[in-house]
Structure 1
Amino acid sequence: MKDSTVSTPLTIGKSKKSFQVNKHLKATLLGGVVPGFLIILWEYLSKSGFFPAHLLPAPTIILDTIMTMGQDGTLWGHLGITLYRLFSGFLIGVALAVLIGSIVGYLKKAESLLDPLIQAFRSIPSLAWVPLFILWMGIGEPSKVVLIAVGVFFPVYLNIVSGIQNVDRKLIEVGKIYNFNSYQLIRRIILPASLPSFLVGIRSGLGLGWMFVVAAELMGASEGIGYLLVYGQNTYSPQLIISSIVLFAILGKLTDSILKSIETKTLHWQDTIARKA
Structure 2
Amino acid sequence: MEKVVKNEEVVKHPPKMPFQAERNDAHKNRKWLQPQANIPYKLYLGVSVSSIVFLFVIWSLLTYGGMVDPLFLPTPTQIINSGITLFTEYGFINDIGITIYRVLAGFMIAVLVGLPLGIFMGTFKVVEAFFEPVISSIRYMPASAFIPLFILWIGVGELEKITIIFVGTFFSLVLMTAVEVANVRCELLEAAYTLGRTRFGVLRSVILPASIPGIMEIIRLILGWAWSYIIVAELVASSSGIGSLILESQRMLKTGNIIFGILTIGLLGLLSDLILKVAIRKMFPWHYGR
CA distance in 2, matches of 1:224, 1:131: 20
Which letter maps to 1:41?
I
Taking the TM superposition and a 5 Å limit, the aligned residue runs for 1:111-260 are 111-260=128-277
List per-residue Cα deviations over 1:110-135 (Å, max 9, x = no partner): 11111101101101112111111111
1:236 deviation in Å? 1.0
For these two proteins, the number of residue pairs brought into alignment is 251
Deviation, 1:73, is 6.1
**Deviation at 1:225?**
0.7
Say which SS state the counterpart of residue 286 (structure 2) adopts.
Answer: coil
SS in 2 for 1:51: coil
Tell me how far apart the structure 2 counterparts of residues 150 and 257 of structure 1 sit (CA, whole Å).
Answer: 24
Unaligned runs of 5+ in 2: 1-39
In the alignment, the residues of structure 2 paired with residue 32 and residue 65 of structure 1 have an alpha-carbon distance, to the nearest angstrom, of 24
Q: Which amino acid aligns with 1:266?
A: M
Q: Distance in 2 between matches of 1:201 and 1:251?
A: 19
Equivalent residues of 1:134, 1:219 under 8 A apart: no
Change beyond 3 A, Cα 1:82–1:109: same
The structural deviation recorded for 1:25 is 6.3
How big is the shift at 1:26?
5.6
CA positional deviation for 1:77 = 0.5
Q: How far, CA to CA, are the matches of 1:96 and 1:48 in structure 2?
A: 52
Partner Cα distance (1:190, 1:74) in 2: 48
1:216 partner amino acid:
A
Q: Which residue of 2 aligns with 1:54?
A: 71
8 A contact 1:103–1:110 mirrored in 2: yes
Take 2:56 and 2:209, find their aligned partners in 1: how far apart are those partners? 42
| Aligned counterpart in structure 2 of residue 35 of structure 1, from 52, 57, 63 | 52
Note the C-alpha offset of 1:40: 2.3
2: distance between equivalents of 1:96 and 1:125? 20
Structure 1 pair 271–46 and aligned structure 2 pair: CA distance change class (3 A): closer
TM-score for both structures, normalised by structure 1: 0.86
Matched with 2:108 is: 91
Q: Give, in angstroms, the shift of residue 156 of structure 1.
A: 1.8
Is the Cα–Cα contact under 8 Å of residues 207 and 252 in structure 1 kept in the other structure? yes
Following superposition, the deviation at residue 72 of structure 1 comes to: 3.6
C-alpha distance in 2, partners of 1:194/1:260? 17
Decide whether the 8 Å contact of 1:158 with 1:201 is kept in 2: no
Q: Distance in 1 between matches of 2:42 and 2:207?
A: 35
What is the alpha-carbon distance in structure 2 between the residues aligned to residue 112 and residue 196 of structure 1?
Answer: 25
SS of the residue aligned with 2:285? coil
